Amino acid sequence: MLQDFVPRPSNVHRSLLVALSLSAGAGWGSYAIVRRTSAAVEHQLRDQVTSLQTAQTRLVAEQT
């Protein structure tokens, strides 16, 4: 009896729910990709800074 009074979601609501769920999944996927890429770029920049510091130290030593 109680089930007769429970409203069922319409197809529009189901479609909206699926669309929002897919959108949220795509957003989190994009976030994960950007985070990984950002970490890789940061690592490359740190390596480059270390290399430049080494070159600078070597040039200063040659100059003196």
pLDDT tier at 7, thresholds 50, 70, 90 = low
Share the mean pLDDT of the chain: 89
Predicted local confidence at residue 12, as pLDDT: 82
pLDDT of residue 11: 82
Element (H, E) at 64: none
User: Which two tokens mark 41?
Assistant: 């770029």
Instruction: Report whether pLDDT(61) > 70.
Output: yes
What gap in Å lies between CA 31 and CA 25, rounded to an integer?
Answer: 10
